[in-house]
Chains A and B, each alone.
Chain A
Amino acid sequence: MPKIIVEVMPKADLLDPAGKAVANALQRKGHAEISNVRIGKRIELHYASTPTDAEVEAAKQIAADFLSNGVIEDVISVTVEN
C-alpha cells in the first residue's frame, strides 16, 4: 500500500527529556560511543493509490499544521513510499 512518511523531531534548540533519559541509560550500559540521543516520531499516512503531487503537497501541509507543533517541533521530511 502506498504511504507518505512524515518525520517529526523536537526542535534542535529545545530540551528533549525522553532523548536525554535514553542517552543517560545508554551511558550507564557502557555505550560511551553514543554522545547524545534525540527522539522524534514517524507518522505513516496510507493511500489507496500512489499519491498525486497535489496529495503530497496536501500531506506536507497536514504535517506542518496538524501532525507537528511548530512551536517546539520541526517536520524533518515528508516522503512517498510505494
Chain B
Amino acid sequence: MAKIVSTVDTTKNAKKTPEKEQPWKELGLKQEEYDRIKVILGRRPTSAELAMYSVMWSEHCSYKSSKIYLRQFGEKVTPEMTKNLMVGMGENAGVVDIGEGWAVTFKVESHNHPSYIEPFQGAATGVGGIVRDILTMGARPIAIMDQLRFGAVSNPDTARVVNGVVSGISFYGNCLGLPNIGGETVFDKVYQGNPLVNALSVGALRHEDLKLAKASNPGDLVILFGARTGADGIGGVSVLASETFDADGPSRRPAVQVGDPFAEKVLIECCLELYAAKVVAGIQDLGGAGLSCATSELASNGQAGMRVQLKEVLLRDESLTPEEILMSESQERMMAIVPKKDLKAFTAIVNKYEVEFSVLGEVIREPRLYINWGKEEIVNVPPRSVAHDGPVYERPVSYPVWQDSLNNNSVKNANLKRSNEASDLAEELVQIISSPNQASKSWITDQYDHYVGGNTALAMPDDSGMVRVSEETGLGVAIATDANGRYCQLDPYNGAKLALAEAYRNVASSGAVPVAVTNCLNFGSPENPEVMWQFKQATAGLADGCLELGIPVTGGNVSFYNQTGDIAIHPTPVVGVLGVIDDVARRIPSGWQDAGNNIYLLGITRDELDGSVWSEVIHDHLGGKPPVVDLAAEKALAELLQGASLQGLLASTHDLSEGGLAQTLVESTLRFGMGARIWLNEITERDRVDLTAALFSESTARVIVSVGREDDVKFVGLCEARGIPVLRIGVTDASGQLEIQDLATWSIEELKATHGATIPEFFG
C-alpha cells in the first residue's frame, strides 16, 4: 500500500493558496457549483470541505434535479389530507397518526447501483439503511418489503444478481428478526444492466416517542455510536487522496459496504432504550454521505452549529484520511445529540449493549459547522449551505421523439391476433400464469421470514402485507407497493396514477383504510430531457392522484441515472400505500377458503390490452395507451369493501391487475387450494367485450370477492346502493379443480405446478 506523505489541507492553508488546483470535476461537481462553494466560503474549499459539498450536492443527496417537482406533493394537499400527518416530507421518514396513541412511519429507498456491483451486500445494506431511517424517527421497525426489478430471466447475468440480491435481503432481514411481508419482483430486459433494488421499512411508535434529526440546544454533546468507521463505500473520494500518496498512485478504496445485521439489531435495541430513557435530544442515522450528512443536517435542522473533533471518531483502520472519515459509509452507525447532564445515563445504556461510542464535539449557537483534525481546522462552513441550500436545477424537458409512434402502435393498430377458440385461450392462460412475471414468486419470498415477531396478519402472496401494531386491540397496518414500468413508458402521467390506484386497491382489498403514500421514483438520467419529461409527468400524475384519493405523500426517494449506456430503464415510480385496520383479525384473505361461496366481479371490464401482460407474453408487444384510471371509481370500490368487511360479508377479496381476471382466478384458487366453477358469458354480454378481454384485460377499479350464500342478498344490495357494478361469475367448490365454463378445466395440482415451476427453473 502507498505511504502517506502529506499533511491535511486546513482552512488556513486554503486562504493562503487560493489558486491550488482541486479535483472538483472528478468528484462530480460542475464548474458553477465549484464557483458557488468559493462564493459561500469566500475562499477555496479545503479538501475536506470539497469532499463534503461534492457528496451532499450530488443528485442522490441534494435532489437538485427533482426538488422543483417534489414540491407539489406538499402543495397539492387539503387540510383534511394532512390532519393525521405528524411528520411530512423532508424528514428521514413520514409519520402518520393511526389512532389509539399509536403512529407509524414508513419509507422506501433505492439501493440500485450498489446492488448491481455487489448484489448480496448491496441488497443487505439497502435493508439495513432503510431500517435505520425508521429507527431514527423514534420507532421500532416492525416489517420490511422489497421492490425488485431484474433483467431478462434468460440472460446469464440475471441469475448472479437475483441470487445475490435475494440472499442479501433474506440474510439481513432474517438476522434482524424483521418479517418481510411482501413486495414485487419483475423481470424485463430494460433492467439488465441496471437492476432496481428498493427496500421499504415500516415502524411503530407511541406519539410521545417521536424523534427528530436536529441539534438545537447549544452545549449538547454530539455523539457517534455503533460500528467503527472504516473505508467502506468511499471509492469515489479516492481522487482526493491522490495528492497525499506517493508515486504508487491513489489507494483503491472499496466502493461497496459490508453490513453486519447483528450489530444493527443491537443498535436498534440500544436506541429504543435510549429513547425510553429520554437521554437523546436529536438523532440521525449515518447512511449515504456518512458523517458529512449527519453533522450538517443535524445542525441545519436545528438552526444551530457544531464543533467537531474528527480525531475522536473511532476507526477500524487508522490509515483513514480526514476526508475519508467524513465520507465513509460504514454501516450500523448513529449520531445522537445528548444533553451534557444525560451523558452518564447515555453511557450506562450503550455500555450495557456493548456499543462503542465517542463524543465528537458539541452543539453551538452560531450556525456554523467547525470540524477540526487535531489542532488544525479543516472545515468551517454554514451547515445549511451543505445540507439544504444546495443547487436546484430546472433541467430541460422534451417530449420524447418516439412517444407518439409508441402510443400509435396499439394492440388494435398492430393487429395482434386474438382468438376466440377455447383451446387457444386456455393455452394463453397457461402461458401467462407461467411467464416469469406472473409465475409464483414463492421461490424468492420463501427465503424470507414472514412471521417472525408473531404480528404478521398477511404476507406474500396476498395483495398486501399486514402487521399488527397493538397486541391489546389488534390495531394494525397494511402496505402494498406497485409500479408498472410498461404502463409508465406508454404514459408516465397515468402510469404513476395506475401504480397508485393498484397499491390503493390492494390495501383496500385487505380490509384496511388507505391513509398515506410513499414513493421511490426510479428513472434514467435527469440530464436527458426526455427522461426529465417522464419524471415531470410521473410526479404530476402521482400528486394529482393523491389529491383525488385524499391521501398524502409522506416522503420518498428519487433514484436517477438508472440506465445502461444511453438507454434508460422504463420509468419505474414505485408507489407504496399504507392503510390502517382497527383489528387485524378482521383482515380479508386473498384466496377462496370455503366451498359453496358465490364469486362476484366488481367493476367494469373494458377492452384494455395495451401494455398488458397478454400483449407482452403472447405477442412480445409494447404500445398504445395504458388502461384508463378512474380514481373516483377506486375510491367508491374501496369504501364498498370497507363497508362490506365491517359487516363481515367478505370471505375473500383479490384485486385484478397484471394478467387480468385469468391471473386473479388462478391466484385465488391456489392460495388455499379451493376450486371453483366460473362463467364468463355474463361479462362478455354486459361489458360487450370478447373472451380475450374478459380474461386478460387490465381494466382498473376491479376486484373479485367471494361471499357466503347467506350474505348474498345483503352484499348485492350494498353494491347496488353504492352504484358499484356487480356480477356473479362463479361459485367455489371442493372439486379440486378450476373450471372456466366453455374454456377449460384444470386440476389445482396442475395449476400449482405450472404456476410454481418457472422461477425455480431459472434460479433454483
Q: Are A15 and B260 in contact (CB under 8 A)?
A: yes
In the bound complex, do residue A13 and residue B317 qualify as a contact, i.e. CB atoms below 8 Å apart?
A: yes
The answer on a CB contact under 8 Å between B232 and A17 is no
CB distance from B316 to the nearest CB of A (A): 7
Interface residues of B in 194-228 (CB under 8 A from A): 227
Give the 5 A-B residue pairs with the shortest CB-CB distance, closest first: A13-B231, A17-B260, A15-B258, A71-B118, A14-B258
Residue of B117, B118, B253, B316 near A15 (CB, 8 A) is B316
* Residues 244-277 of chain B, each 1 if its beta carbon lies under 8 Å from chain A, else 0: 0000000001101111101100000000000000
CB-nearest residue of chain A relative to B260? A17
Query: When each residue 348-366 of chain B gets 1 if its CB lies under 8 Å from chain A and 0 otherwise, what string results?
Result: 0000001000000000000
**Does A69 touch B at the CB level, under 8 Å?**
yes
CB distance from A6 to the nearest CB of B (A): 20
Interface string of B559-572 (1 = CB under 8 A from A): 00000000000000
Using known A-B contacts A69-B118, A71-B117, A72-B121, determine if residue A15 contacts B230 with beta carbons closer than 8 Å: yes
CB distance from B486 to the nearest CB of A (A): 32
Chain B residues contacting A71 (CB-CB under 8 Å) are 117-118, 254, 256
Name the interface size band of chain A.
Answer: 10 to 19
Chain A binding surface SS class: loop
Interface secondary structure of B, over-half rule = loop
Smallest distance from the beta carbon of A26 to chain B beta carbons, Å? 14
Q: Compute how far the CA of A16 lies from the CA of B330 in the bound complex, rounded to whole angstroms.
A: 12
B692 interface hit (Cβ, 8 Å): no
Q: Chain B CB within 10 Å — which of A14, A24, A72 has the most?
A: A14
A1-39 near B? 1/0 per residue, CB < 8 Å: 000000000111111110011001000000000000000
Residue pair A13, B254 in contact (C-beta under 8 Å): yes
Q: Which residues of B contact A (CB under 8 A)?
A: 117-118, 121, 227, 230-232, 253-254, 256-260, 262-263, 316-317, 330-331, 354
CB contact under 8 A between A15 and B354, given known A71-B256, A72-B254: no
Residue of B232, B254, B263, B317 with most partner-chain A CB within 10 A:
B254
Residue of B nearest to A10 (CB): B258
**24 A/B residue pairs, CB under 8 Å, sorted by A:** A11-B254, A13-B230, A13-B231, A13-B232, A14-B232, A14-B254, A14-B257, A15-B227, A15-B232, A15-B257, A15-B316, A16-B258, A17-B258, A17-B259, A17-B260, A17-B263, A20-B263, A21-B262, A69-B118, A71-B254, A71-B256, A72-B118, A72-B254, A72-B258
Query: How far, in whole Å, are A31 and B227 apart by their CA atoms in the complex?
Result: 21
Given contacts A14-B256, A72-B254, 12 further A-B pairs with CB under 8 A are A11-B254, A13-B253, A14-B230, A14-B254, A14-B258, A15-B230, A15-B257, A15-B331, A17-B260, A17-B262, A17-B263, A69-B118
CB distance from B399 to the nearest CB of A (A): 40
Bound-state Cα–Cα, A20 to B263, Å: 10
Distance A23 CA – B118 CA, assembled complex (angstroms): 26
Scoring A11, A21, A71 by chain B CB atoms within 10 A of each residue's CB, the highest score goes to A71
Distance (whole angstroms) from the CB of B737 to the closest CB of chain A = 47
A69 to B121, CA, bound (A): 11
With both beta carbons as reference points, the residue of chain B lying nearest to A21 in the complex is identified as B262
In the assembled complex, the CB of A67 is this many whole angstroms from the nearest CB of chain B, namely 15
List, in ascending order, chain B residues with CB within 8 A of A17's CB.
258-260, 262-263
Report the bound CA distance from A12 to B317 in whole Å. 9
Complex: chain B residue closest to A17, CB-CB: B260
Closest to B251 in A: A13
Chain A: CB-nearest residue to B263: A17
Residues of B within 8 A of A21 (CB): 262
Chain A contacts for B232, CB-based, 8 A: 13-15
Instruction: Find chain A residues with CB under 8 A from B258 CB.
Output: 10, 14-17, 72
* Cα–Cα distance between A50 and B196 once the two chains are bound (Å): 47
Most buried by B among A11, A16, A24: A11
Residues of A close to B263: CB separation below 8 A: 17, 20
Instruction: Name the residue of chain A whose CB is nearest to the CB of B1.
Output: A12
Indicate which residue in B254, B331, B354 contacts A24 across the interface (CB closer than 8 Å): B354
Q: For residue A14, which residues in chain B have a CB less than 8 angstroms away from its CB? A: 230-232, 254, 256-258
Tell which of B118, B257, B258 has the most Cβ of chain A within 10 Å. B258
Chain B residues with CB under 8 A of A20: 260, 263
Chain A residue contacts of B257, Cβ below 8 A: 14-15
- Give Cα distance in the complex from A11 to B231, angstroms: 10
Point out the residues of chain A lying under 8 angstroms from B118, CB to CB: 69, 71-72
- Contact present for B330 and A15 (CB under 8 Å): yes
Q: Is the beta-carbon distance between B256 and A72 smaller than 8 angstroms?
A: yes
Neighbouring A residues of B260 by C-beta, 8 Å: 15, 17, 20
